[in-house]
Structure 1
């Protein structure tokens, strides 16, 4: 039987691979590639993994890296790209894959290092030069923005409403005595359904008022639901305005008798994020004690720069408003506790066994999400099937098992947790012996996944979760990611 060697890290002996195994590996790779083309990424990952088991080829690792990337398992994508580079330091595609993962995590300097490595090897390659040049611009821009932000004042302080006149031909909704009313909200939603626009003066006023409101709240907000009252929890919306309208059609508009909690990731990817966020902020101002919003991992500056929200705000309004949104998002609460029984956060639980509700309540949240710690894990963590903890597939946060959930609930005298953050085919998933529930409210995510959306309802007396699922509704022909940064070209 003939054999050949596969590339190995420096100072390692070549790994002998039989011709038969090479043939099996190539067959599995070809099959995986077909599944990848059909967007069956989980099946592609399974087949690439089988190929790697019998033939650890850098190409297989790089391909699996891209499949992981497509499923938003950025941490796994990063590890696979690094493994491909370790096996073959001349394999430029692996550097591209790793750079894409770094950029998705907001680690632009590390991405630049990989683009530079390719550019040095291939200085006449147009693609290599373009990616290196554009990434270098991003790094320099961020460094400049950081340098000038040290002594810069709040955007709120620079807004002058006296200079913002309402044009005679403006026919959209108007605030009444500078306040959000139910009529304003009804007019706003109808305007948005018709693809109209809220005047910038009213938009800035809403942002000003919502920031002041969020600043009065703790990082953990307590919610009381009366015994016979209904309460609704929604997961990720991701700029899918027409699906948000469908939730209100199915479950009723927010009111003092019909309270809601929206659990983060209101924006990005979907191209109606501006419409979503002003609708949600408007209801928060209208019903401050019966409408709640928690921060998600996409309510952050670098995610908004990459996945479309910043570009959408700049297109529909101004760069100044995009900066203002960043200030507002920094004050969003991080989680909510309903009737002292159910804790709701966007991501999940923690790498420490000692976390209490008081620890969460006192988090200093007025900042961009850090790469570690309680705030990071609330926004980024995910549940896993086995007991214990594991490094996150996302490269940020932690995977936590049913034993971790059980111990956290017992320590804090809670019944279960609700989180969002992950696409689920049925719109929701009940895990960890019923103690960890995921709800995701953006159906047919990015117009491509085919999942259902869901929301949870419960009554204050028993707090038993009930699930309503729904399909995506039609929307105007505006594709997801329309406003995404040109960075996204690097990630394909």
Structure 2
């Protein structure tokens, strides 16, 4: 119906009226934060009348809420194409550009809005914030080009950091993490205390050495009768992370874990999450594993809260050190030569091999394209083939792409994370592509359950445990986010 409407250009009064009803229905869904239903209703309105800018603008806003930044960008651009004076279209497109880290393009759209509406305080505030970001980035780029920056790790003097008498929290024993230290740390964090900066720096320096020694693709052997647990996104939800350990047992050599990226950002207890995970990596380096996610990057951390949280709780120097550590996180793990685990998904080209993944030079910020980018950003789709990413980064891949990859590499299935799922997990592509997401009630708004996967080395069959969120202190998500992101909320 939409194709015919666009071809003929004729919209009947009945279709126009029906489209308006769908728009009003979608607006109600949006108000109730049911963004998927809102998107579906806006889509129906567009199918009946594809010539109304506001339908695309509203759907763009819903896509922004579901982090489909690529789709949001397309809809916002379409709304502007239909109506050059539709200011909300420029707003939405600017927000999409910002979310994708394309700050100069965002600034251009905000400039259009402020020029057309100079008394719009909200527009002026967003233009000002975006302008600051562009200037800061230009300054940082100039600085980095002027000098060959030394590693932050080399500039840290642990001996100069004194432990004050009043500090009563967990202490490393002879500079080492112990099981008792980790139990004490979790309880210390549970009671909203801060780990001493000397121990925090020590953990970061030591864990960086471990990750530097690992390949981009880590091989994990799981004995026949041994349990192995895979967790998805945590996103700074420390109290839910502690609940995973309560439900499934603390990490140990007998209870190994793999955390599959996006440990930080959005949730406002990201520092607590990352030091808990890094602590266990140091305690059980051969039985506790961590993959890089798309949020273990400078741009994401600056936008979505981790950078601000580290600076608030520690220092800008520590924030820079985190970047160095994240650059060395492995990109994927292969379990018993049968299952590949990565944060995002598969690739824009066929015949990628495990050896290709092993050879990725990962010590850098994620690029905008290529194997490393797609491992961190891609998503599955139900239909065959490939499509441009709904996020604007990476690619969407169908069941045929998954099967081809598995056949090429003699694998059983893949596990990835990266997407909120109502039950915390989803089995797709005829059982060959599994998504696991471990942050329940994501951002305190999504209402989803979290989940983790357990399997044993003998049959490698995935078993799912789904759980609800637990209460946390009254610190809202994104509390440390970039001030621009707060304006968007």
Fold shared, TM-score > 0.5 on shorter chain: yes
1:218-249 deviations in whole A, cap 9, x for unaligned? Answer: 11000011111111111111111111111111
* Structure 1: segments with no counterpart, 5+ residues: 1-5
Q: Is residue 399 from structure 1 mapped to residue 393 from structure 2 by the alignment? A: no
Which residue does the alignment assign to 1:41?
35
1:383-437 deviations in whole A, cap 9, x for unaligned? Answer: 1111111111111111111111111001001111000011111111111111111
Q: Is residue 107 from structure 1 mapped to residue 102 from structure 2 by the alignment? A: yes
Matched residue of 1:433: which SS?
helix
Counterpart Cα distance in 1 of 2:122 and 2:465:
47
Which residue does the alignment assign to 1:463?
460
What's the CA shift for 1:23?
2.5
Q: How does 1:268-279 map to 2 (within 5 A)?
A: 268-279=265-276
What's the CA shift for 1:117?
1.6
Q: Is residue 389 from structure 1 mapped to residue 383 from structure 2 by the alignment? A: no
Which residue does the alignment assign to 1:3?
none
Q: CA RMSD in A?
A: 1.5
Match of 1:358 among 355, 374, 393: 355
Q: How does 1:85-484 map to 2 (within 5 A)?
A: 85-150=80-145, 151-484=148-481
Counterpart Cα distance in 1 of 2:48 and 2:465:
44
How does the TM-score come out when normalised to structure 2? Answer: 0.96
What's the CA shift for 1:31?
1.3
Counterpart Cα distance in 2 of 1:379 and 1:100:
22
Matched residue of 1:457: which SS?
strand
The answer to whether the 8 A contact 2:232-2:436 is kept is yes
The answer to whether the 8 A contact 2:345-2:380 is kept is yes
1:431-464 deviations in whole A, cap 9, x for unaligned? Answer: 1111111111111111111111111111111111
What's the CA shift for 1:157?
1.7
Matched residue of 1:325: which SS?
helix
Matched residue count: 482
Matched residue of 1:52: which SS?
helix
* Structure 2: segments with no counterpart, 5+ residues: none
Counterpart Cα distance in 1 of 2:218 and 2:167:
38
What's the CA shift for 1:17?
3.8
How does the TM-score come out when normalised to structure 1? Answer: 0.96
Counterpart Cα distance in 1 of 2:162 and 2:374:
44
Counterpart Cα distance in 1 of 2:116 and 2:249:
59
What's the CA shift for 1:25?
2.2
What's the CA shift for 1:490?
4.1
1:241-260 deviations in whole A, cap 9, x for unaligned? Answer: 11111111111111111110
Counterpart Cα distance in 2 of 1:39 and 1:221:
39
The answer to whether the 8 A contact 1:100-1:490 is kept is no
What's the CA shift for 1:119?
2.0
Which residue does the alignment assign to 2:18?
24
Matched residue of 2:431: which SS?
coil
Match of 1:53 among 47, 64, 68: 47
1:153-179 deviations in whole A, cap 9, x for unaligned? Answer: 111122121321111100111111111
